[in-house]
Amino acid sequence: MNTDVKSNGLSRREIIINGGMAVAGAAIASLGVLGGAKNAGAYASASIYKYKKLDPRAVGQVAYENYAKRWCASSVIAGFVEALKKEQAGAEWNDFPIDAYRWAHGGMAGWGALCGTMPGAGVIIGLVTKDTDTAEAMVNDLAFYYAYTELPSFTPAKPPKTEIHHMTMAGTPICHISIGKWMRAEGVDFLSDARAERCARVAANVAMEATGMLNDWADGKYVPKHKPLYNVIANGITSQNNCGDCHGHDVPGVVQTYPSLDK
Amino acid sequence: MNTDVKSNGLSRREIIINGGMAVAGAAIASLGVLGGAKNAGAYASASIYKYKKLDPRAVGQVAYENYAKRWCASSVIAGFVEALKKEQAGAEWNDFPIDAYRWAHGGMAGWGALCGTMPGAGVIIGLVTKDTDTAEAMVNDLAFYYAYTELPSFTPAKPPKTEIHHMTMAGTPICHISIGKWMRAEGVDFLSDARAERCARVAANVAMEATGMLNDWADGKYVPKHKPLYNVIANGITSQNNCGDCHGHDVPGVVQTYPSLDK
C-alpha of A22 from chain center:
26
Instruction: Tell me the average pLDDT across A21-43.
Output: 42
Decide if A138 contacts A130 (C-beta within 8 A): no
> What per-residue confidence (pLDDT) applies to B193?
96
Give the type of residue at A6: K
Q: Is B66 on the interface with A (CB under 8 A)?
A: no
pLDDT tens digits along B30-55 = 334 344 444 456 777 778 999 999 99
Q: What is the ipTM of this complex?
A: 0.85
Per-residue confidence (pLDDT) for residue B74, from 0 to 100 = 98
Is B109 an interface residue toward A (CB < 8 Å)?
yes
Q: Cα torsion for A232, A238, A244, A246, to the nearest 10°?
A: -170
Helix (H) or strand (E) holding B256: strand B255-256
Give me the pLDDT at residue A252, please. Answer: 64
pLDDT tens-place string over residues A52-64 = 999 999 999 999 9
pLDDT tens track for B181-231: 999 999 999 999 999 999 999 999 999 999 999 999 999 999 999 999 989
Inform me whether the C-beta atom of residue B232 falls under 8 Å from chain A C-beta atoms: yes
For the cut 80, the answer to whether the pLDDT of residue A31 exceeds it is no
Amino acid B67: pLDDT = 97
Instruction: Tell whether the model's pLDDT for residue A8 goes beyond 90.
Output: no
Give the range among A182-186, A233-237, B126-130 with minimum mean pLDDT: A233-237
pLDDT at residue A25 greater than cutoff 80? no
**What span, in angstroms and rounded, lies between the C-alpha atoms of A194 and B191?**
43
- How large is the average pLDDT for residues A30-43? 48
Q: What is the pLDDT of residue B30?
A: 37
Asked if A114's CB is within 8 angstroms of B140's CB, the reply is no
- Output the pLDDT for position A218: 98
Closest CA to B179 of B157, B163, B200, B162: B200
Tell me which residues of chain A, numbers 161 to 220, contact chain B at a CB-CB cutoff of 8 Å. 162, 172-176, 179-180, 183-184, 187-193, 195-197, 199-200
**Distance from the A233 Cα atom to the nearest Cα atom in chain B, whole angstroms:** 7
Widest distance between CA atoms in chain B: 62
Query: How confident is the model at residue B41, as a pLDDT?
Result: 63
Q: Work out the pLDDT band at B8, boundaries 50, 70, 90.
A: very low
Average pLDDT of span A144-162: 97
**Bridge partners (DSSP) listed for residue A5:** B255
- Mean pLDDT of all residues belonging to chain A: 84
pLDDT at residue A51, rounded to an integer: 98
Q: What is the pLDDT of residue A41?
A: 62
Query: Among residues B7, B75, B156, which one has the least CA distance to residue A183?
Result: B7
pLDDT of residue A261: 40
- The DSSP line for chain A is ---EE-SSSS-HHHHHHHHHHTTHHHHHTTTT--GGGTT----B-----------HHHHHHHHHHHHHHHHHHHHHHHHHHHHHHHTT--GGGGG--GGGGGGGGGGTTTS-SB-THHHHHHHHHHHHH-BHHHHHHHHHHHHHHHHTS-B-----SS--SS-----B--SSSBHHHHHHHHHHHHT--TTSHHHHHHHHHHHHHHHHHHHHHHHHHHTT----SS-TTHHHHHHTSS--S-GGGTSSTTPPPPEE----TT-
Q: What is the pLDDT of residue B90?
A: 96
What average pLDDT does range B90-118 have in this prediction?
97
Work out the mean pLDDT of chain B and round it to a whole number. 84
Q: What does the DSSP 8-state code read for residue B237?
A: S
Q: Helices A193-218 and A117-129 sit at what angle, rounded to 10 degrees?
A: 20
Instruction: Indicate the pLDDT class of residue B260, thresholds 50, 70 and 90.
Output: very low
Q: Which of residues 110-169 of B touch A (CB under 8 A)?
A: 110-114, 118-119, 122-123, 125-127, 130, 132, 135-136, 138-140, 143, 162
Percentage, residues of chain B above pLDDT 90: 71
Predicted confidence band of residue B14 (pLDDT cuts 50, 70, 90): very low
Whether pLDDT at A263 is above 80: no
Average pLDDT over residues A221-227: 96
Task: Report residue A43's pLDDT band, with 50, 70 and 90 as the boundaries.
Answer: confident
Query: Which pLDDT band holds residue A11 (cuts at 50, 70, 90)?
Result: very low
Please tell me which residue, B22 or A78, carries the higher pLDDT value: A78
pLDDT over threshold 50, residue B25: no
- Chain A residues inside the 8 Å CB shell of B32: none
pLDDT class of B141 with cuts at 50, 70, 90:
very high
Q: Compute the average pLDDT of residues B74-86.
A: 98
User: What is the model's pLDDT at position B34?
Assistant: 45
Element (H, E) at B5: strand B4-5
Chain center to CA of A77: 13
Q: Nearest Cβ partner of A261 from B26, B95, B257?
A: B26
| Residue of chain A whose alpha carbon sits nearest to that of B16 | A254
Least confident of A88-102, A116-130, A172-186, A246-260: A246-260
Task: Choose from A71, A103, A243, A249 for mutation: most chain B CBs within 10 A.
Answer: A103
CA distance A18 to A245: 16
Quick check: A35 and B190 CB within 8 A?
yes
pLDDT at position A131 over 80: yes
Whole-number pLDDT of residue B254: 57
